[in-house]
A and B are shown apart, each in its own frame.
Chain A
């Protein structure tokens, strides 16, 4: 249909060159610009650290090589705990908690999603659970479990070590998060997949196991690893229940020698522990993104 509006296509010849100010940062100048800006920013940060009025004191208190080494290996004669050995406790708690979190998290996710009428009360409980444990700060969960459960005087349950209570606190908190990650992953599988599986006569459970979960895993892994990085760091909270793990060992060193190098050592050790996982996670995310770009 043709009408008499004045809107027609342009007859002008357009120009595609960027304006002057944008042209400035092209070609070799771009390289120079990035080098200059990097040097300025990094150099500025280093200079601030060195030239700050208290710089010398902080360097002595936090980055003293002798104290860093002593805190890392510990010193039995001065009853200084080794930050390095402390970290082994962090790692142990992390590894144990991780297994329970995965199992419990998946159970929670599954419970929230089943339709069985018998499981109705559990469904409600699962919802309340995830609200509670995503809402209370981890630190408080540690304190409530660590001081509360022994107070109950429930025999075996109330006679566990602080390390066990810490583990429980981490499992309770992180399972709530991990359950949500699983749920999101399950929801990310296209509905047509469920229709196709059910129309073949696969039961609800078989559909979940053979069709949905295998596909959900791929989307779930990166956010799951993110939660685990966070879990690795939160093992530092064991210190509030008096477990002598890396951070607590650093604090003991600090109290004894009025020197915080142990805390820096603990930080470095945590970095050594988390960075590989961080890199793997980012790598997986990038790979997933590339695959999606390639297929669309």
Chain B
């Protein structure tokens, strides 16, 4: 297997008295897709946010490309430029057109010239079949379209890995498919992804590794086969029965 790019080691995160992550350890290799499953509130989203430094951890270490993210000399903005994040609620910028949404990262964060990036941006939109909507504003698009634009907005930064936080949970059931198809497509082309999801079939299809979280503890991790067909822990088994 290829190199490990992300090492999460015994990570602890507290919000006041509430311990949300209680010593989570997990590795991610290049070109690997890892799915985090578990009930709402189990810590999946928080873990993703910690990797992106949207939250700071209270214990343990997160090492990205050999650099500890808890080091005070780390510039969070630089970390985020290499770790794309997609949210449950899309969070497209409503005052910018679809194209501008895709351009804003490369132009404003990477300081690349607009004219250099514009073709790439249009190609990305082409890939999700929304090139003809480039000049429209996000509120004119369906939820599924908005979420695909949000994914492409992250991709435009050419990140080393993509963090996806329940990206289909806010969508109409009829729109979930198009977003998952895009993620499958990305997985096949070797995009490294850490995905928090409630879509078990999707996780089974695309993930090389599935990790089950419960109450801030990583109960077990393994191949989709191991987790879905032969879970070792009682709580994993109960969870899978409930969502089935």
Contacts and interface: CB of A to CB of B under 8 A. Distances in A.
Interface string B85-111: 101010111110000000011001110
B109 A201 contact: yes
Contact of A196 (B78, B82, B87, B157): B87
Contacts of A203: 77, 109
Q: Which of A193, A197, A199, A215 has the most CB of B within 10 A?
A: A199
A200 B91 contact: no
Nearest to A206: B108
B91 A202 contact: no
B89 A201 contact: no
B95 A214 contact: yes
A193 B105 contact: no
Interface residues of B, number: 28
A295 interface: yes
B104 A198 contact: no
A199 B54 contact: yes
A195 B88 CA distance: 12
B93 to A, nearest CB: 6
Contacts of B52: 199
Contact of A193 (B93, B108, B139): B93
B148 interface: no
B104 A199 contact: no
B184 interface: no
A200 B154 contact: yes
B153 interface: yes
A91 interface: no
Nearest to B92: A196
Candidate in A192, A195, A200, A211 with the most chain B CB atoms within 10 angstroms: A200
Given A192-B87, A201-B110, A211 B93 contact: yes
A289 interface: no
Task: Count chain B CB atoms within 10 A of each CB in A201, A203, A215 and give the residue with the most.
Answer: A201
B81 interface: yes
B189 to A, nearest CB: 21
Given A200-B157, A201-B157, A195 B91 contact: yes
A2 B60 CA distance: 51
> What 7 pairs across the A-B complex have the smallest Cβ distances?
A201-B81, A196-B91, A199-B85, A201-B109, A200-B105, A192-B91, A201-B80
13 contacts: A190-B91, A192-B87, A193-B93, A195-B85, A198-B76, A199-B83, A200-B80, A201-B77, A201-B78, A201-B81, A211-B93, A214-B95, A295-B139
